[in-house]
Amino acid sequence: DSGVTQTPKHLITATGQRVTLRCSPRSGDLSVYWYQQSLDQGLQFLIQYYNGEERAKGNILERFSAQQFPDLHSELNLSSLELGDSALYFCASSPPAGDTQYFGPGTRLTVL
């Protein structure tokens, strides 16, 4: 158990819908990262937050957005879902000035 929690574990929805994925980092970690794992794209970095502020963006679609709240949990919002958004979404956290990222169990999103 890495100490990073993600909910829900599984999500099945339809095209065009909107979903929210939630992540709670390890105690004391200020950085939260979101990654997408799909068969064709592999593991791709989406976005990073540090202590409530957006720090870096990767290959994140405009239909996707994220935020980190004062209690440091983070949410990834996916809207106007398409079949191709079906993937495993990971959240990871790391401590201040830390170099290692610890991953949550992931949320498997299926878009039908």
The reply on whether position 33 binds other proteins by CB under 8 A is: yes
First to last CA, the chain: 31
Strands (E), the chain: 5-7, 10-13, 19-24, 31-38, 42-50, 53-57, 64-68, 74-78, 87-94, 102-103, 107-111
The reply on whether position 99 binds other proteins by CB under 8 A is: yes
State how far the Cα of 14 lies from the Cα of 111, in Å rounded to an integer: 5
The reply on whether position 74 binds other proteins by CB under 8 A is: no
| Least Å from the CB of residue 24 to other proteins | 16
Tokens representing 70?
């004062």
Using CB under 8 A, which of the segments 14-22, 42-50, 61-69, 77-85 binds other proteins? Answer: 42-50
Tokens representing 49?
């937050």
Q: CB-wise, 15 or 56, nearer to other proteins? A: 56
Q: Among 8, 55, 82, 110, which residue sits at the site for other proteins (rule: CB under 8 A)?
A: 55
Interacting residue ranges for other proteins, rule: CB under 8 A: 2, 31, 33, 35, 42-43, 45, 48, 50, 55-56, 58, 88, 90, 92, 94, 97-103, 105-106, 108
